[in-house]
Amino acid sequence: MHDHRRELINGLLNLAIFLETHPDVPAPLGVTLHHFPDYEDDEDLRAEVDRIATRIGSPIEFDSSPYGHYATSVHFGPVEYRAVAILAAAQARHDAVNSYRDCIQPDV
């Protein structure tokens, strides 16, 4: 098992124990853990998410995505594991919108 995987699992277990033993500390309503595949082209990104979808027994969410992300997820009550591929078209839209980010400075 990879070190980062073991560290994540230990961190989640420790968080659960902490929340259990500190009922005075507020807890969120839910948690989503994201996995973003590290590939350069859309075909490889989709293939990785497809493999994950098969392993977790979950459908691909693409047509319903407001951002054009190719994703799959599984829920454990209010905890979600979500694999997301940000495809080239979605990244290009994001970059285009952000290209104007500092162009307008409101008078405050």
pTM: 0.79
Q: Of 77, 82, 62, 15, give the one whose Cα is nearest residue 7.
A: 15
78-106: average pLDDT: 78
12-16, 39-43, 102-106: which has the highest mean pLDDT? 12-16
* 50-91 pLDDT tens trace: 999 999 999 998 866 666 789 999 999 999 999 999 887 777
Query: What residues have CB less than 8 Å from 73, skipping those under 6 apart?
Result: 32, 56, 58, 61, 80, 81, 82, 83
